[in-house]
Amino acid sequence: MLEELVGSTWHRFITKHANKQFPEAIVYLDDIRLTAGIFFRALGGEGGLRVENATDSTVNARRSLLQRIAGIGDKTQYAWRDEETLRLPENIALFSSRQLNLDLYLWLTALSVISVEKGDWISRNQYRTAKTLAVWPGLKSRYQQLVDAHLEQRADPRDLTQREAKQEHAIRAALLNSTQKINLQYAKHPPQPVPLWLHPSPPPLEFSTNKPPADPDMPEAVQTKKEQQKQQKRKQGNRTDMPEGNDGLMSFRLESLWSWGEYSKLDRTSTDDDDDNAMQTAEDMDNITVAQDAETSASKIKLDLDLPASQYDDIVLGEGIPIDEWDYKKQILQKGHCRIIPMTSRDTEATELPIRLKVQARRIRRQFEILRPQRHWVSRQTEGTELDLENYINFLTDRKHGVVNGDTPVYRDLRNETRDLSCMLLADLSLSTDAHINNSSRVIDVIRDSLYLFSEALSVTGDRFALHGFSSRNRSHVRFSNIKGFDDSYNDDIRGYIDAVRPGYYTRMGAAIRYASQLLEQETSTQKLLLIITDGKPNDLDKYEGRYGIEDTRQAILEAEKKGLQPFCVTIDEKAEDYLPYLFGKNAYILIKNAAELPAKLPLLYLRLTR
């Protein structure tokens, strides 16, 4: 105990004195992630990119004696951008002023907007800096303050060797003058990191492998969604071939020549941890290498997936409908790339509205009765069912005074006031809806109750509406569940279909929106509302993760708007503000933070959208 106390005290003491950062002025990326994303897009950056944490990079620059003793200063986090994400440091505490640390986040975000491929590390960042200050001159004062503060922190060239001093002078000159050409000479140690610049050599976006896909049922699945635990910090990774068991250290004891033993086929280079704490091991590693084995992994990991067996699955209607998909890299619409599988629930039974919802449904129906079509008299008509006495008396009075007007409208007519509106509600029924929101309810339960109350409300107004759900397994299997069509009456049979909705697979949102748009476009109503309920961002097995799915969904929404439809998204995803403004626009979505409130708020939202 005494040794541990002394050791921990010494570690805190030496780390505190060796650390050159300012914890009291620290700014975390989580605090400004949304601001950085908006700032990036406002400066012209690509809207589909996500803002994520950067990874640790090894620093080989000269460290002080205290840093070497404390074992710090050998890692840093650079900012960089790839096709999928904008990566910024997890936190910044380089300066004693919190405002300067915040300005550094914004400066790195602005620098990431400028694209350049040619040149070395310094020339690329010089070009980005010069271009950024030329396009947005309002950043000059902030950049100058950052440069001045950073130069005070850099090593004094007088304390370095001759070659390292020349490198330091070159770095300082490049920071002060972005147009000056700099040549960096070789030295024993590389220069200190420049936090005002982007990554010298960003890690590759993805790691290739020549191994075939592991799942024969899904030939396009290059990556499965088997995340069991969430790591605290993103790690660098790369792929390699599976070890054959011929490498590694072999120990041999001479006395074993006089003994015998049973042979066991065991590859010690890939033996599991005895404590089975794989996540803790991953957290301790800076770089993780993975390999794909020809053997099954059942002996290492057991998974229990809540996927329905075929005999209990929904009924497939037809052979599937081809649907387009947008490839943002090629900037083309791939014709018939996906296939919609219309489905209906198996073994449904007619059911009444659940007792727990009846009081709430009665209150909502009273609120929506103001939208019910009503018969009313329309006055001052040239034709009608009876005379408009007030206008007829005015007509006789005018004629008695010599004013004759044969076109005076003296009739009134009894007419029906109807709402010219059609609404399709498209519900995300992916596997993530099986998650619990509290001790008694899951997301799918909340969606089911929302469908009940939404239908109760619209059945009062007389508006035409349809209910559908969707999930997907890959591009060739996008499930589109039929719950209620526009021409179906809302009754106990429809309630039975609502009661039968179950979690499915993944969320290929673009294909579902395109097919729903085709159905809604056939309606003759003037106003056509496409209401989408989801609990997460678009995703699927075959390359639909990340930006590909985001861009395809956005293109599907733009296509729906061109058809005269009104897409609107209702989400319970806490991270929705990172991507929904790009997909739907800032006024075409709403985030409901408490998922349990969705059933009550959805009808009121519809009332606000259509009044």
Q: What pLDDT is recorded for position 207? A: 38
Of 176, 192, 222, the one marking the end of a domain is 176
Highest mean pLDDT among 156-165, 411-420, 424-433: 424-433
- Do 408 and 529 have their domain in common? no
Q: Dump pLDDT digits (tens) for 102-143.
A: 999 999 999 999 988 788 888 889 999 999 999 999 999 999
DSSP 245: S
**Inside any domain, residue 210:** no
Position 307 in a domain: no
Same domain, yes or no, for 400 and 523? no
Please state, in angstroms and rounded to a whole number, the distance separating the CA atoms of residues 552 and 441.
32
Question: Would 593 be classed as within a structural domain?
Answer: yes
Torsion of CA 258, 264, 267, 271, to 10 degrees: -100
Q: Are residues 44 and 171 in the same domain?
A: yes
Of residues 404 and 565, the one with the higher pLDDT is 565
Tell me, what's the pLDDT at 208? 37
Above 80 in pLDDT, residue 418? no
CB count within 10 Å of CB 70 equals 20
Looking at the chain, the whole-number percentage of residues with pLDDT higher than 70 is: 77
Q: What is the DSSP string of 473-491?
A: EETTEEEEEEEE-TTS--S
Same domain, 35 and 169: yes
Overall average pLDDT of the 78-87 stretch:
86
d(CA 42, CA 64): 41
Q: Are residues 445 and 426 in the same domain?
A: yes
Q: pLDDT per residue over 15-41, tens digit each?
A: 766 677 788 999 999 888 889 988 998
Distance CA 545, CA 483 (A): 28
Question: In residues, how long is the chain?
Answer: 611
466-477 residue pLDDT tens: 999 999 999 999
User: Considering the domain boundaries, does residue 215 fall inside one?
Assistant: no
Does 232 fall in a domain?
Answer: no
Q: Is 18 helix (H, G, I), strand (E, B) or coil?
A: helix
265: in domain: no
Give the chain's domain count: 3
What is the mean predicted confidence (pLDDT) over 370-391? 70
Spatial separation of the C-alpha atoms in residues 608 and 611, rounded to whole Å: 6
Structure confidence at residue 306 as a pLDDT band (50, 70, 90)? very low
If you average pLDDT over residues 231-252, what whole number do you get?
55
C-alpha count within 13 angstroms, C-beta hemisphere, residue 148: 8
Same domain for 328 and 476, yes or no, is yes
Closest CA to 478 of 442, 516, 449: 516
Structure tokens, 322: 């081809």
Q: How far apart are CA 602 and CA 533, in angstroms?
A: 9
Residue 609 has pLDDT above 70, yes or no: yes
User: Tell me, what's the pLDDT at 135?
Assistant: 92
Angle at which helices 98-113 and 140-153 cross, to 10°:
120
Task: Locate 263 and state its tokens.
Answer: 């042979």
Asked which of 383, 417, 451 is the last residue of a domain, the reply is 417
State how far the Cα of 390 lies from the Cα of 605, in Å rounded to an integer.
42
The pLDDT, as a whole number, for residue 89 is: 92
Q: How many helices (H) and strands (E) does the chain have?
A: 16, 21
pLDDT digits (tens, 9 = 90+) for 258-271: 555 554 454 444 44
Residue 301 lies in a domain: no
Cα radius of gyration rounded to whole Å, the chain: 33
Note whether 465 and 490 are same-domain residues.
yes
More confident residue, 237 or 130: 130
Q: Which of 529, 418, 515, 524 minimizes the C-alpha distance to 465?
A: 529
Using alpha carbons, select from 136, 109, 121 the residue that is nearest to residue 27: 109
What tokens were used for 256?
A: 């074993």
CA distance 80 to 59: 16
**Per-range mean pLDDT, top range of 110-119, 255-264, 350-359, 374-383:** 350-359
Average pLDDT across the chain, whole number: 80
Whole-prediction pTM value? 0.65
Residue-range definition of the domain harbouring residue 515:
316-368+420-610
Three-class SS of residue 588? Answer: coil
| Domain match, 394 and 329 both | no
**Which of 176, 205, 235 is the last residue in one of the domains?**
176
Of 291, 267, 271, nearest in space to 281 by CA:
271
Residues 397, 503, single domain; the answer is no
Q: Return the structure tokens found at 558.
A: 């733009």
Place of tokens 């005002």: 196
Whether residues 502 and 599 share a domain: the answer is yes
Residue 593 tokens, joined: 């933070």
Q: Are 107 and 141 in contact (CB under 8 A)?
A: no
Average pLDDT over residues 287-300: 51
578 in any annotated domain: yes
Residues 90 and 151 in one domain: yes
Segment 566-580 shows an average pLDDT of 91
Domain match, 425 and 412 both: no
Given its phi and psi angles, is residue 459 left (phi above 0), alpha (psi -120 to 50 degrees) or beta? alpha
Question: At 326, which CATH number?
Answer: 3.40.50.410
